[in-house]
């Protein structure tokens, strides 16, 4: 037995059993018997949905209904919605019948007793039987589910009492339970719904119909597309039109070549709308086609019956570099008679250009002495069957070869090259070139000729040839050295040319009557040399830009004995600035030696040294100054002058750049401020921008490109100082040393200029001169 008031099933009993217990609602505390069974999917036991009479034969108590309440008031699942919980609670309310086919509905709205609500054990109550535990009826048991309503109960449970059915048990309503049920079933307006019947929500048939229709159409579409591709794959002919390209895969540039494109219908059905398009390289020059093309390189061939064939022939030549690779492609477009769509087929032929019909040759002396005039004959031959235009001849000369003349003259000034007239098939073109080797030439010298085919502005290399000449040891040996070297050089305005001419007799006989001639050749204006300040020219004779030394000035040159040597040194300064209208910014130094004979043989000749080109960088000039007054006397500074200890004085700093020769780019001028000077962001520039970096305390002025037609540009900024007592009697440092940089666009040199620091002395300010010392 269990303790009084605990009329329930054990929670974890796995086998069915009958349990006797007493209930606080049982009359006189009599015993009540309940049957416990295991619910499917539940870990514990539950009471069977009926009760049996007690031992005393009195009407049963509401124990079963108590259990019903316990089930009906279970806490809902945390994942269930309120509406689902309400529907679940409704389905747990049972309707109990008293006989076959009939049953009294438990009045709806009956407040069920709570487990925690106080109830007298002897008070007769009518069980609402709203859960799975219910009392047994007197007749055949008929049960059905009923929904609670808000109507008060009017019937009691049919139970066994001394063998008779007693329906008069009455249970007063429980107000706490009524409030709880109202909290569960109440709608938004606070009223309880009519729960006497359960309505089924209408189903959305149109949504199901739409989903099924979409699925059906998707299946039909997939089947249709699958059948289409399957039919197309099975019905595509393996091969109807066969095409080939016949011709040489290795050709020479300029050589006429013929290519034949053949086609044949190998299918069982006719071919309609046959079209052939030839994709030819841009280097291929077409001279003839058979049959004639309908448009460009496209042929509309029409229909082709089964077994029939045809051909298209194209003749032309390649204007291409040697070596190079080219590709010819034929594209066939046709439509079989049993198809409504077009088919395409592509054929290609790779072609290698391995040679050229142009041949080159160079003829010259096998041996030569420095200073001797030599002649080279350059010849270009066309071994092909087509006349060629746009043939260019380039010649690479040795460094120690001095070009004198040619027939015909070079096509471009400053370049040893000739644009030849059209070279006929089997014909040739000839160029004759004259020159001499300088005294520094030695060993084997090679003259190389290269032949080009010009396509627009592109040079396509064809062939090359060269001639070699062995230099014999010259009797007189001399060189031209400038600033220690024999290479071309670039100097700034104001630079110095230190010229050295070492000479000697390497032969075994005396060289008679030697003279040297040094010239600064400009081709127009005077050379930028300050002859008045030149050093070493007193030993020679100057005529304009030419210096000459002979036996009159240097007696040793009258008869230069074997193994004797000598040096002539000259220093040629350049002006710091000059007018480009009167002086040239580029010139060439040339040195030649003339001799009357060697030993007893009188054989006058002239020998040249390797010339040397000199470029003058642009004449960039940078300057910086600080002012308190402008040149017209207008004040641009602020504060006391001279500066006073403990007070602030502002100065204006001007940066000026001058340039006249060449355009400049990437111009930058910068300086740092001392710790005693401050930046007040007062600035301006005629070109470019002025900026200040707070981290590095650097003032910078940048100009991307020098303004065209402007010889002078300027920028300014203000600085302030607040001297202390320790500065009394001294000048204030306003700006540290500055530097200016720029790139010469002609010589490609990076120019740089350095400037000293600026103080409060203000030497260029006439109105503020002598007022730069700090006073108390």
- 434 within 8 A of 372, measured Cβ to Cβ: no
Report which secondary-structure segment, H or E, holds 573.
strand 565-573
Mean pLDDT is highest, among 71-85, 170-184, 311-325, 513-527, for 311-325
Mean pLDDT of 244-261: 95
Q: Fold match between 241-356 and 476-616?
A: yes
How many whole angstroms separate alpha carbon 266 and alpha carbon 270?
10
Find the mean pLDDT for residues 362-373.
Answer: 90
CA 694 from chain centre, in angstroms, equals: 33
Residue 680's region, left for phi above 0, alpha for psi from -120 to 50, else beta, is: alpha
* Closest-CA residue to 257 (of 360, 331, 380, 354): 354
Place of tokens 């540009």: 713
For 409, the token pair is 């003259």
Pairing of strands 476-478, 458-471: unpaired
- Strand 649-658 to 712-721 pairing: antiparallel
Whole-number Cα distances in Å, 228 to 214, 223, 343, 393 = 21, 9, 17, 65
Peptide bond into 642 cis (omega under 30): yes
What span, in angstroms and rounded, lies between the C-alpha atoms of 133 and 112? 13
Break the chain into its structural domains and give their ranges: 17-185, 203-233, 241-356, 358-471, 476-616, 621-759
- 46-50, 392-396, 593-597, range with the lowest pLDDT: 46-50
C-alpha closest to that of 171 among 62, 31, 23, 21:
62
According to DSSP H, which parts of 200-253 are helical? Answer: 205-235
pLDDT at 22 over 80: no
Q: How many C-beta neighbours within 10 Å does residue 748 have?
A: 10
> In which region does residue 223 sit, left (phi positive, over 0), alpha (psi from -120 to 50) or beta (all else)?
alpha
Tell me the pLDDT tens digit for each residue of 383-408.
Answer: 999 999 999 999 999 988 989 999 99
| Contact status, residue 101 vs residue 140, Cβ threshold 8 Å | no
pTM of the model: 0.54
Question: How far is the CA of 431 from the CAs of 193, 621, 670, in angstroms?
Answer: 119, 49, 57
Q: Which has more confidence, 397 or 77? A: 397
Beta strand pairing call for 664-672 and 515-521: unpaired
Confidence of residue 604 (pLDDT cuts 50, 70, 90): confident
Range of weakest confidence among 30-44, 99-113, 525-539: 99-113
Query: Phi/psi zone of residue 536: left (φ > 0), alpha (ψ -120 to 50 degrees), beta?
Result: left
> What per-residue confidence (pLDDT) applies to 183?
75
Identify whether the C-beta of residue 420 lies closer than 8 Å to the C-beta of residue 391: yes
Best mean pLDDT range from 128-137, 216-225, 307-316: 307-316
Query: What are the tens digits of pLDDT across the range 267-286?
Result: 889 999 999 999 999 999 99
Q: What are phi and psi of 622, to 5 degrees?
A: -120, 140
Could you tell me the two tokens for 477? 């040996």
CA triple 162-164-166, angle to 5 deg: 105
Give 22's strand partners.
31
pLDDT per position as a tens digit, 437-469: 888 888 899 999 999 999 888 999 999 999 999
Q: Which two tokens stand for residue 407?
A: 């027939």
> Do residues 174 and 62 touch, judged by C-beta distance below 8 A?
no
What's the chain's length in residues?
Answer: 776
- Distance of alpha carbon 538 from alpha carbon 745, whole angstroms: 38
Whether 380 contacts 393, CB under 8 Å? yes
Q: Is 663's pLDDT higher than 50?
A: yes
Does residue 116 have a pLDDT over 90? no
Which superfamily, per CATH, for 476-616? Immunoglobulins (2.60.40.10)
Q: Tell me the average pLDDT across 627-631.
A: 93
CB 252 within 8 A of CB 353: yes
- Lookup: tokens for 460: 């396509």
Q: What CATH architecture applies to the domain 621-759?
A: Sandwich (2.60)
Cis preceding linkage at 589, omega within 30: no
Residues of the chain with pLDDT > 90, as a percent, come to: 48
Q: What is the CATH number of domain 358-471?
A: 2.60.40.1530
Q: Hey, which CATH number is domain 241-356, 3.40.30.10, 2.60.40.1530, 3.30.450.20, 3.90.220.20?
A: 2.60.40.1530
CA 283/CA 685 separation, integer angstroms: 55
From CA 99, how far away is CA 114, in angstroms rounded?
30
Average per-residue pLDDT for the chain: 80
């Amino acid at each position: 037995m269990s303790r009084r008031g605990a009329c329930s099933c054990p929670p974890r009993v796995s086998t069915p059993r009958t349990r006797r217990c007493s209930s606080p609602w049982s009359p006189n505390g009599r015993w009540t018997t309940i049957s416990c069974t295991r619910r499917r999917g539940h870990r514990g036991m539950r009471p069977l949905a009926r009760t049996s009479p007690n031992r005393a034969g009195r009407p049963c108590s509401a124990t079963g209904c108590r259990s019903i309440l316990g089930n009906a008031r279970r806490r809902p699942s945390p994942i269930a919605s309120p509406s689902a919980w309400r529907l679940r609670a409704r389905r747990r309310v049972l309707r109990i019948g008293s006989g076959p086919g009939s049953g009294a509905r438990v009045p709806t709205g009956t407040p069920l007793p709570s487990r925690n609500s106080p109830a007298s054990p002897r008070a007769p109550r009518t069980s609402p039987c709203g859960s799975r535990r219910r009392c047994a009826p007197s007749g055949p048991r008929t049960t059905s589910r009923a929904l609670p309503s808000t109507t008060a109960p009017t019937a009691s449970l049919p139970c066994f009492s001394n063998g008779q059915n007693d329906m008069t048990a009455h249970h007063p309503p429980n107000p706490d339970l009524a409030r709880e049920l109202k909290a569960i079933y109440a709608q938004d307006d606070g009223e309880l719904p009519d729960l006497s019947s359960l309505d089924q929500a209408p189903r959305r048939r149109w949504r199901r119909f739409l989903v099924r229709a979409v699925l059906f159409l998707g299946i039909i579409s997939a089947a249709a597309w699958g059948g289409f591709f399957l039919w197309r794959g099975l019905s595509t002919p393996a091969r109807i039109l066969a095409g080939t390209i016949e011709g040489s895969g290795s050709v020479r540039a300029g050589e006429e070549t013929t290519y034949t494109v053949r086609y044949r219908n190998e299918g069982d059905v006719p071919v309609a709308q046959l079209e052939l398009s030839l994709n030819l390289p841009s280097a291929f020059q077409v001279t003839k086609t058979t049959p004639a093309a309908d448009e460009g390189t496209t042929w509309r061939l029409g229909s082709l019956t089964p077994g029939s064939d045809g051909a298209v022939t194209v003749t032309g030549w390649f204007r291409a570099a040697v070596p190079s690779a080219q590709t010819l492609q034929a594209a066939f477009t046709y439509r079989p008679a049993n198809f409504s769509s077009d088919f395409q087929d592509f054929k290609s032929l790779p072609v290698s250009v391995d040679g050229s019909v142009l041949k080159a040759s160079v003829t010259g002396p096998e041996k030569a002495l420095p200073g001797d005039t030599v002649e080279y004959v350059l010849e270009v031959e066309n071994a092909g069957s087509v006349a060629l235009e746009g043939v260019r001849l380039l010649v690479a000369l040795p460094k120690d070869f001095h070009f004198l003349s040619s027939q015909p003259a070079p096509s471009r000034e400053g370049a040893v090259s000739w644009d030849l007239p059209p070279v006929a098939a089997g014909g040739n073109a000839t160029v004759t070139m004259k020159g001499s080797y300088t005294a520094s030439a030695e060993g084997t010298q090679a003259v190389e000729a290269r032949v080009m085919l010009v396509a627009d502005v592109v040079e396509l290399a064809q062939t090359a040839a060269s001639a070699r000449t062995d230099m014999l040891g010259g009797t007189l040996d001399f060189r031209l050295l400038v600033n220690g070297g024999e290479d071309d050089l670039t100097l700034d305005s104001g630079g110095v040319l230190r010229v050295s001419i070492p000479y000697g007799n390497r032969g075994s006989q005396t060289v008679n009557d030697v003279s040297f001639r040094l010239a600064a050749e400009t081709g127009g204006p005077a050379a930028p040399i300050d002859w008045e300040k030149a050093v070493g020219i007193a030993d020679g004779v100057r005529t304009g830009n030419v210096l000459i030394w002979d036996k009159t000035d240097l007696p040793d040159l009258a008869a230069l004995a074997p193994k004797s040597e000598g040096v002539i040194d000259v220093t040629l300064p350049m002006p710091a600035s000059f007018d480009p209208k009167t002086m040239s910014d580029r010139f060439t130094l040339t040195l030649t030696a003339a001799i009357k004979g060697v030993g007893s043989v009188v054989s006058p000749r002239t020998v040249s040294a390797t010339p040397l080109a000199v470029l003058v960088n642009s004449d960039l000039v940078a300057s910086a100054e600080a002012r308190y007054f402008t040149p017209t006397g207008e004040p641009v500074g602020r504060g006391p002058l001279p500066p006073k200890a403990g007070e602030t004085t502002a100065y204006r700093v001007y940066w000026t750049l001058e340039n006249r020769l060449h355009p400049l780019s990437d111009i930058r001028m910068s300086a740092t401020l001392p710790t005693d000077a401050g930046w007040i962001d007062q600035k301006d520039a005629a070109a470019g921008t002025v900026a200040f970096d707070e981290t590095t305390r650097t003032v910078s002025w940048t100009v991307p490109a020098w303004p065209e037609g402007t010889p002078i540009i300027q920028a300014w900024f203000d600085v302030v100082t607040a001297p202390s007592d320790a500065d009394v009697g001294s000048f204030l440092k306003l700006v540290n040393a500055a530097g200016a940089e720029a790139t010469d666009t002609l010589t490609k040199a990076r120019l740089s200029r350095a400037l000293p620091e600026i103080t409060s002395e203000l030497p260029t300010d006439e109105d503020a001169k002598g007022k730069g010392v700090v006073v108390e």
